[in-house]
Amino acid sequence: MLNFEWPWVFIALPLPWLLRWLLRPVPATDGGVLNVPSLQQFQVLSGVSAALPGRTSHVLLYAIAWLLLVTGTARPQWLGDAIEVPVNGRDLMLAVDLSESMRETDFVVNSRPVDRLEATKLVARDFIERRVGDRLGLILFGQQAYLHVPLTFDRDTVRQLLDEAVIGIAGRQTAIGDALGLAVKRLREEETPHKVLILMTDGRNTAGEIEPLRAADLAAEAGLTVHTIGIGADEAIQRGFFGTVRINPSQDLDETTLKAIAEKTGGRYFRARDTAEFEQIYHELDKLEPTEHSGEHFRPRRALFHWPAAGALMLFGSLLLSATFMRTQR
């Protein structure tokens, strides 16, 4: 719908006519008057046609220009449909393992084998997109842990930087404790009532300075809820010199520690053996950490003042050029 931010400006519409009515006209000088029977000869001599018929059109153009100018000053806006603002005050961090073991191709997407990191990215994209109203952050860890994206409402940036993450950029080993400790450090001083970390890994703690369970105790003291996800299939077929053998590609996954971390912090442990389970886990996380609605609404506004303002400027400019041209022709 069309709306005017300053509708009271329209009271200025009759201002030119009021000024014309209130101000006295310039008195005529007492000079000689030349009476002629016709103006046709003077028009021929000057080369200018009579302006009397066009005077009315000029007044009309000035009136339209004034109307456009007043309309632009009233700040017309186009209001869109009301949109609810979902702000729940939750800080949610994602901690993603980039160690060498994430190269294992035991996931299948669209009948194509992919590594564990690629499967994590594919499923996490939709989860990130659904977290409207949350401040999201991203921690990448391997042998070291890095804060890749500070807490932000910009979900597109979080998703893009997760897509650009590559295996091995943080080292070949796995520092689960350091990743958890970094999340505690970043979230401890935040005043938001809900602080959540989703930690995804396919191995066990093999590096770092902080033991995972000690870091879990610190997380519990800071009011941080940690949900852990163990990544990797339970069974895979490997081709060898003597044929194919069945192996467990997730034999290094430390489920005991991941379960303990979740239990200490009031979270849950999930097991992602394939893409379908991965997607189900994120839907479960949506239920555990629902997106709340504030009940507040806003209507998107699109400013339109430049259109009438541009029209008024063009009309005034045209009339000014026309008057200047008429004077030069006389």
Closest CA to 171 of 203, 198, 217, 149: 203
Eight-state DSSP code of residue 303:
E
Domains (range + CATH), the chain: 2-21+44-80+299-329 (no CATH), 84-288 (3.40.50.410)
Q: Which amino acid is at 27?
A: P
* Residues with Cβ within 8 Å of residue 279, at least 6 apart in sequence: 123, 126
pLDDT for residue 329 is more than 90: no
Class of residue 270 by CB neighbours under 10 A (exposed 0-12, middle 13-18, buried 19+): buried
Closest CA to 171 of 146, 202, 138: 146
Torsion of CA 53, 55, 57, 61, to 10 degrees: 170
Angle between helices 212-221 and 255-265 (to 10 degrees): 10
Q: CA dist 266 to 40, 175, 245, 284, Å?
A: 100, 22, 40, 15
Q: CA dist 302 to 13, 72, 77, 79, 85, Å?
A: 24, 13, 5, 7, 18
pLDDT digits (tens, 9 = 90+) for 93-139: 999 999 999 998 888 888 888 899 999 998 888 889 888 778 899 99
pTM of the model: 0.62
pLDDT digits (tens, 9 = 90+) for 183-202: 999 988 787 778 999 999 99
Share of the chain above pLDDT 70, in %: 79
pLDDT for residue 237 is more than 50: yes
| pLDDT at residue 264, as a whole number | 95
pLDDT band, very low/low/confident/very high, at 83 (cuts 50, 70, 90): low
Provide the CB-side half-sphere exposure for 325 (13 A, CA).
Answer: 8
What residue has token string 């310039």? 26
Task: Give the total residue count for the chain.
Answer: 330
pLDDT digits (tens, 9 = 90+) for 31-66: 555 555 555 554 544 444 444 445 566 778 888 888
